[in-house]
């Protein structure tokens, strides 16, 4: 093995070590994000935690999370790394073609060099002032539908996004989608409980009993209006008692299963 080949082998191994270290940091960041968002079921807190983690992990100029609006023409900025006070700001998607495309098509949009991209020619001065390097927009997809997106901007003199970094951000977007779904379910449950207090077992039994009796009497009245209870023979009276017991058992079971 020549001196040159040994040098090349050392450089290759060093590059591989750096790559593995980079992947390790990604895995650690994923675990930390999962731990942080699992501590809250309020979507605003979850979104802000994710934006902050991404901004800190990559030293970003911007890390923002948008949620789609029903009209498809606007999106709502719900979390921002550079300005945590921004929580509910509506943006026109015509001003952000990369964001519109990502949310419309459900695909990741990665622009390695914003200054060299023709789509940002009209913003070249502003991007230069902020020293913007690359731009990445990752969709937040849920059940084949795009419900939002994560927008990330690096500094020009910062470390550019690699393919591994983009895949990491896509994994975070998947976590975000699941966290949003859980938070949505929790908030819907809270609303239902607030509007309809939780019923006790006794309450459910009474409600079921009333509904049963009302249905039974309505059916009985519709079929016969001439028979009286006093005409029942003893055997029939015993049968009625037995049916009442069966009905009460069914009512208790029905109430406990709700």
Q: Radius of gyration (Cα) for the chain, nearest Å?
A: 31
- pLDDT for res 254: 63
Element (H or E) spanning 57, and its range? helix 43-58
Q: Measure the CA–CA gap between 115 and 121, rounded to whole angstroms.
A: 7
For 108, the 3-state DSSP assignment is coil
Indicate yes or no: pTM above 0.75: no
Length, in residues, of the chain: 258
Q: Left if phi > 0, otherwise alpha if psi is -120 to 50, otherwise beta: which for 181? A: alpha
Domain formed by 3-194, architecture: 2-Layer Sandwich (3.30)
> Model confidence over 95-127: pLDDT tens digits?
888 999 999 999 999 988 877 776 776 666 666
| Alpha-carbon separation of residue 15 from 3, 8, 9, 164 (angstroms) | 18, 10, 10, 14
Residue boundaries of the structural domains of the chain: 3-194, 200-256
Element (H or E) spanning 109, and its range? strand 109-111
Q: Measure the CA–CA gap between 213 and 121, rounded to whole angstroms.
A: 75
- Residue 65's pLDDT band, with cuts at 50, 70 and 90, is very high
Q: Measure the CA–CA gap between 108 and 110, rounded to whole angstroms.
A: 6
- Residue 79's pLDDT band, with cuts at 50, 70 and 90, is very high
Nearest 5°: phi and psi at 117? -90, 130
- pLDDT for res 75: 93
- pLDDT for res 22: 67
Nearest 5°: phi and psi at 133? -100, -90
More confident residue, 86 or 190: 86
- Residue 191's pLDDT band, with cuts at 50, 70 and 90, is low
| Buried b or exposed e, range 58-81, using 16+ CB within 10 angstroms | bebbbbbbbbbeeeeeebebbbbb
More confident residue, 196 or 47: 47
């Amino acid at each position: 093995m020549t001196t040159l080949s040994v040098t090349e082998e050392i450089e290759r191994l060093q590059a591989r070590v750096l790559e593995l270290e980079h992947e390790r940091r990604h895995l650690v960041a994923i675990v930390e994000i999962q731990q942080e968002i699992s501590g809250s079921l309020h979507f605003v807190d979850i979104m802000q935690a994710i934006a902050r983690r991404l901004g800190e992990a990559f030293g970003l100029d911007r890390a923002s999370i948008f949620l789609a609006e029903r009209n498809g023409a606007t999106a709502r900025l719900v979390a921002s790394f550079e300005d945590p006070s921004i929580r509910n700001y509506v943006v026109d998607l015509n001003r952000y073609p990369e964001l519109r495309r990502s949310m419309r098509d459900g695909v990741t949009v990665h622009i390695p060099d914003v200054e060299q991209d023709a789509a940002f020619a009209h913003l070249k001065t502003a991007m230069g002032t902020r020293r913007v390097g690359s731009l990445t927009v990752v969709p937040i997809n849920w059940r084949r539908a795009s419900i939002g997106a994560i927008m990330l901007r690096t500094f020009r003199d910062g470390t550019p996004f690699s393919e591994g970094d983009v895949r990491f951000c896509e994994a975070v977007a998947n976590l975000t989608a699941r966290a949003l779904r859980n938070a949505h379910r929790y908030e819907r449950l809270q609303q239902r409980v607030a509007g309809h207090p939780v019923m006790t077992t006794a309450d459910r039994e009474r409600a079921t009993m009333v509904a049963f009796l009302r249905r039974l009497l309505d059916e009985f009245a519709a079929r016969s209006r001439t028979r009286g209870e006093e005409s029942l023979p003893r055997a029939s009276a015993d049968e009625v008692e037995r049916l009442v017991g069966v009905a009460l058992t069914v009512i208790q079971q029905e109430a406990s299963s709700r």
